[in-house]
Amino acid sequence: MSRTGGRGLTAVPGPVIEVTGVEKRFDRVVALHGVDLAVPRGTVHGLLGHNGAGKSTLINILATQIRPSRGTARVAGYDVVGEAPQVRRRIGLTGQSATLDERISGRDNLVLIARLLGARSRQARARADELLESFRLTDAAKRQARTYSGGMQRRLDLAACLVGRPEVIFLDEPTTGLDPESRLTTWQVVRDVVRDGSTVVLTTQYLEEADRLADTITVLARGGVVASGTPADLKARVGGRTVTVTLAAPTRLAACVQCLRGAGLRSTPDDTRTKVTVPVGSARDTAAIVRTLDDAGIEVAELLLAEPSLDEVYLSLTARPPAEAPERTRVSSPHSVRRSRRE
Ligand SMILES: Nc1ncnc2c1ncn2[C@@H]1O[C@H](COP(=O)(O)OP(=O)(O)OP(=O)(O)O)[C@@H](O)[C@H]1O
Ligand SMILES: [Mg+2]
């Protein structure tokens, strides 16, 4: 894999990644079927899906490691099949397993890559040191990479992918196996490279990661897209907000359910029978809950408004019988998504 960078070489308008009707077959296995995707420049796009959903296959097609059986994909304005060398010059890739030279030091690995990309010796060392610092590897910089822990090797691999400041960066499960601190470090580095203009496509099994980091998300299931949009779009589409009411006196539970029903609100008591959860469509519903219970003289100990989590969204989107064809649910066009960077 060429790790050559080249940001600024092209000024392609529109999405930096465009996938249309991509299919990939491995003999009889259909790893991807009819996948469409558009990722705006300077954003983070998260690919979610169960094991075997096709995430790595899609990343590998976009990074020119494998060819699609059908359909087209363009990265930074170039076709991944017909113009693979141009694509390779503009991307960085880290796969699910590290690919560094374990016999030399972490620093030498990064210096070597920078030199291969054409940097002068001093520049190469400066870039290596900068990345080692970002990934908290300075103390281990001079040790052979094979002495690094698994998490350190993952971070070094990610650093190696960024040496050439690529225009588009593909990260296949970049934080798998990392401890919480290293995960936060990686998130910060992703935010930094995107702030500097790169586009990142990452796969993850951690839904919180996608929620915190991704501007837009595509959920794959059994090789097809089942939903795409911003994390907020997906939550709004699948789950509603809920208000959980904790009663001051559990004896009022039945009265609470009854008077909420009278106000047209469906409430479900929890197992402890001290709380009820009410789906709410708007702020008006929340106000109605408060007013109704107050009018009925039912004292409330706590009122909690909860957003659906991305976990709930994911489970509801991907929990389908295998025989059922995935239904396409485009929630919103990624083109229209405005950046809202979450810290
Ligand atoms: N080289 C290959 N030869 C045959 N089948 C393959 C090959 N690569 C992937 N597949 C199959 O394609 C499907 C998608 O695999 P892929 O690795 O893209 O899934 P994934 O979403 O990345 O899963 P995971 O979360 O486990 O990494 C799986 O059924 C897998 O077995
Ligand atoms: Mg994978």
Task: Find the CATH number of the domain harbouring 296.
Answer: 3.30.70.790
Check residue 320 and give its pLDDT. 55
Q: Ligand 1 centre from 56 Cα, in Å?
A: 7
**Alpha-carbon distance 63 to 122, whole Å?**
30
**Alpha-carbon distance 225 to 314, whole Å?**
12
- The answer to whether residue 172 sits within a structural domain is yes
> Per DSSP, what are the bridge partners of residue 75?
17, 78
Check residue 275 and give its pLDDT. 92
Nearest residue to 134 via CA among 80, 189, 89: 189
- The answer to whether residue 162 sits within a structural domain is yes
Nearest CA to ligand 1 atom 30: 52
- The answer to whether residue 176 sits within a structural domain is yes
Q: Clarify whether residues 140 and 264 are in a common domain.
A: no
Counting as low any pLDDT under 50, the low residues of the chain are 1-12, 322-343
Check residue 150 and give its pLDDT. 85
Q: Clarify whether residues 23 and 151 are in a common domain.
A: yes
Q: Clarify whether residues 199 and 273 are in a common domain.
A: no
Q: 10 Å Cβ neighbour count for 139? A: 8
Q: Which of 203, 229, 255 is the last residue of a domain?
A: 229
- The answer to whether residue 83 sits within a structural domain is yes
Q: Clarify whether residues 90 and 112 are in a common domain.
A: yes
- Alpha-carbon separation of residue 81 from 4, 27, 186 (angstroms): 18, 20, 30
- Residue of 25, 56, 207, 220 to mutate, ligand 1, most atoms within 8 A of C-beta: 56
Nearest residue to 191 via CA among 168, 214, 208, 171: 214
Q: Could you tell me the sign of the dihedral formed by the alpha carbons of 84, 117, 185, 10, in that order?
A: negative
- Residue of 26, 47, 97 to mutate, ligand 1, most atoms within 8 A of C-beta: 26
Nearest CA to ligand 1 atom 19: 52
Domain count, the chain: 2
Q: Could you tell me the sign of the dihedral formed by the alpha carbons of 200, 205, 206, 211, in that order?
A: positive
Helices (H), the chain: 55-62, 84-88, 106-116, 121-134, 150-162, 180-195, 207-213, 231-238, 253-262, 283-295, 310-318
Check residue 64 and give its pLDDT. 96
Range of the domain at 241: 237-308+326-341
**Alpha-carbon distance 289 to 308, whole Å?**
19
Which ligand 1 atom lies nearest to the CA of residue 59? 18
- The answer to whether residue 3 sits within a structural domain is no
- Alpha-carbon separation of residue 110 from 65, 116, 155 (angstroms): 22, 10, 12
Q: Which residues line ligand 1 (CB under 6 A)?
A: 26, 29, 31, 49, 51-57
**Alpha-carbon distance 161 to 158, whole Å?**
5
